[in-house]
Amino acid sequence: MYSSVFQKILDILYPRFCYVCKKPLNETQNFYLCFSCWRKIPLIRHEACLQCGMPVGKGIETTKVCLVCQKEKFAFSQARCAGEYNDSLRELLLSFKFHGITQLRFPLGALLYWKIKNTPFPQKPQIIVPVPMSYSSQIQRGYNQAVLLAENLSHRLKIPCFPHLLEKIKTTKPQSELQRQERKKNLVSCFRIEGDYYKKQCKDKIVLLVDDILTTGNTASECSKVLTQAGAQKVYVATVARTLNF
Ligand SMILES: [Zn+2]
Ligand SMILES: [Zn+2]
């Protein structure tokens, strides 16, 4: 009761707003979204390709992989994506990534956690590693959204996180500006693991690679390749969102 009175006073002094629709939040809405925007998050609840996380439509068997994954070989073994990159989830991720609203790591971390609990990986991951940004991009943005998500998830799952295990050593063009074939080339020799300490951390481990969004799977696959070359036993991928085209 005291906490709700306290929250009411706080709400008068410092009104809180939903990060998606900008409407004021009342004291029962403790998170960063109003109930209506929470409900509108396009979650991927059931049928999705086991390898790349793409929703495959109701009733389709999910012990198999989608048509793309039957041809494409990714270096990670399975991916889980919490929702479709649409509507309120797209708004949230854009605010998180480009508008400096880093507190969104809490609700977005909650979505990642929900997905992994709801559709567990066959084996429990032993370490969490975020997809890195290049040094200059990170300086420009001030933070790496994948690190914030990975740390939040690490806290929830009680699995250690190594935010600097992977490094991105080249600044690349945004994948979204490139054609499908160019996207693969764009990432070649982009990532590395430097130093014996980090190599030792991933040796023989089941690694969970975390990012905000999975599009073609090329970035996650390239990172997974480097992790596997350093001795990781297996790489799983978890992202908040999945685009619905490759
Ligand atoms: Zn709202
Ligand atoms: Zn697939």
Residue 76 confidence (pLDDT) above 70: yes
Kindly report which listed range (4-18, 68-82, 129-143, 190-204) carries the lowest average pLDDT score. Answer: 4-18
Strand order across the 206-214 sheet: 78-84, 234-242, 206-214, 127-130
Query: Which numbered ligand comes closest to the C-alpha of 244?
Result: 2
Place of tokens 């629709």: 21
What's the number of domains the chain is made of?
A: 1
In a domain, 14, yes or no: no
pLDDT of residue 125: 98
Taking the C-alpha atoms of residue 212 and residue 194, their distance in angstroms, rounded to an integer, is 24
- Banded model confidence at residue 63, pLDDT cuts 50, 70, 90: low
CA of 223 to the centre of ligand 2 (A): 18
CA of 109 to the centre of ligand 1 (A): 18
In a domain, 215, yes or no: yes
- Banded model confidence at residue 2, pLDDT cuts 50, 70, 90: low
In a domain, 23, yes or no: no
- Banded model confidence at residue 30, pLDDT cuts 50, 70, 90: low
In degrees rounded to 5, what are phi and psi of residue 130?
-85, 155
What is the mean pLDDT of the segment spanning 81-101?
91
CA of 90 to the centre of ligand 2 (A): 21
CA of 27 to the centre of ligand 1 (A): 14
In a domain, 71, yes or no: yes
In a domain, 89, yes or no: yes
Q: What is the CATH number of the domain that holds 144?
A: 3.40.50.2020
Residue 172 confidence (pLDDT) above 90: no
Residue 225 confidence (pLDDT) above 90: yes
Note down the domain range covering 95.
41-242
What is the mean pLDDT of the segment spanning 43-62?
80
User: Is the Cβ–Cβ distance between 205 and 127 less than 8 Å?
Assistant: yes
Mean pLDDT of the chain: 88
CA of 160 to the centre of ligand 2 (A): 28
User: Is the Cβ–Cβ distance between 213 and 240 less than 8 Å?
Assistant: yes
pLDDT of residue 31: 67
- Banded model confidence at residue 231, pLDDT cuts 50, 70, 90: very high
In a domain, 142, yes or no: yes
Kindly report which listed range (39-48, 121-130, 155-164, 209-218) carries the lowest average pLDDT score. Answer: 39-48
CA of 25 to the centre of ligand 1 (A): 8
Higher per-residue confidence, 168 vs 4? 168
Q: Which residues are CB-contacts of 228 (< 8 A; sequence separation ≥ 6)?
A: 75, 235
- Banded model confidence at residue 114, pLDDT cuts 50, 70, 90: very high
In a domain, 6, yes or no: no
pLDDT of residue 235: 98
Kindly state the DSSP code that residue 176 receives in the 8-state scheme: G
Token representation of residue 24: 């004021």
Q: Beta partners for 84?
A: 242
What is the mean pLDDT of the segment spanning 85-106?
90
What is the mean pLDDT of the segment spanning 17-34?
79
Residue 246 confidence (pLDDT) above 90: no
In a domain, 52, yes or no: yes
